[in-house]
Structure 1
Amino acid sequence: MRARCLIVDDEAPARAELRYLLSQFDHVQVVGEATNGEEALTLLRSLDYDIVLLDVRMPGGTGLEVASELRTSAKPPRVIFTTAYPDYAVEAFDLEAADYLVKPFDEDRLGRALARALSAGADDDAEAPAERSSHRSMHRPTHGATHRPPEPLGRIPVQQGDRTVLVDDSAVIYATAARGYSYLQLAGERVLVSFTLNDLERRLAGHFFRVHRSHLVNLDHVRELIPDFKGALVLVMGDHQRTRIEVSRRKARELRSMLGM
């Protein structure tokens, strides 16, 4: 069966462009369009959709408000945000969006977003290993089984609208996993990047340490190490919130050895 898709955008040219791009995918069928958040919710209550392509800034309710309302549904559709504004990516993924596309994007990028949306379970609250492998392959070219992993690059590209900003690794305090993506915590802000934590571990230099499956920390920004009675450690980081990150017992032993403790 073809996946039923709803397009939600207040601009007619944007809806036409999305409809054209979606026509390139035989497994997706556009069965509705809405021009604002109120119309979108009306359509979503009248028919079961599989995917919603959702703009952020619209009259009659923002896309974030629509996505938040959908989370109360028994079987919510998968949401792909399509917007000219990169600023809301963190909020979008907090609402469990399948993807966040910043305009302009092409057929290939949309295809990857559709694949993510359709492969994710309706009640997906944790990414399966097979999905993580699939997500990594979307962001990294494959050159065969004997391909040697690249040397650490020390710079992370961050998409900001139609620009790509290169963030130096020294500015990254820690990174957090986010279902095939990652958040980078900088001194005063958190940004989303299209790399898994495994990808970042390969790209960044040796002063980054994987404390457990969900966090990669920059040891240069660790302010305190607090032991607990179970043999683990808690790191106090150098961001404005002085975030505390727990180190697993196995990793705590490795970290103590690295630091000569």
Structure 2
Amino acid sequence: MDELKIVIADDDELSRRIVRRFLETIPNTTLVGEVTNGEELMEQVLVEEPNLVLLDITMPKLSGLDAIRECLKVLPQLKMIFITGHDQYAAEAFNLSAVDYVVKPVERQRLFVAIEKARQLIKAQQEDRWKEFYNRNDIIKKLIIRSERSIYFVPMKEVLFIEKIGRKSWIHTHLRMYESNETLGTLFKRLDSTFFQSHRSFLINLEHIHSIKPSGETYMVHFQDYEKPAFISKSKMNLMLEFIEQHAQLPRED
């Protein structure tokens, strides 16, 4: 997927305007939001699920560094480019796996190079998951689920989907539901590549999908012999279909 969904986070209106105008000249980029502080950034990431955030570090309410740490808990694959007037935070930014660190004033070519680097990283990340999907072995992989009183070891192939409700994550299988205090982002890091984050509140097992039907602004995912559905956000539908299609095109080893 070459189209980038981008959010700008900067409390300086002039800086946002400059970056916005630069983005208008860069192909295959879509600006999905602008925010002026760290708390707004967290909300925007939850709503828009962008690929990339262009953010300042010193912002009201919550700094860019603290805000991006929280965003990564929800959207661990999120990429970021820091655009700031301060160079002393570079080491801390790269510790968060920042794609780049651009010091103001911003030059168009410098920003273009940083964004293209992010695009290639995102593309490579998706391709790696596709390859892993078809190269996985037959060893039974288990998801460790930590609840308040017990630890469960559930084969990943039995998990239909994982749902976020409030501050809890609920793991759905045909036999029962498991409650966990861990975030979706934490659980997603331990899952294999048969799982896809279809919505900010759902991780679904692609191998168990029976049908998909539109439901207002989202899509409902139904599973064989299981009454409760999961959901796919409108913005993730094409990506998920592309993900599955790429799997089908990869050669299998005999």
Output the TM-score relative to the length of structure 1. 0.45
Structure with the larger RCO, 1 or 2 (CA within 8 Å, 6+ apart): 2
Identify the structure with the greater helix proportion: 2
Instruction: Flag the structure with larger Rg.
Output: 1
Output the TM-score relative to the length of structure 2. 0.47
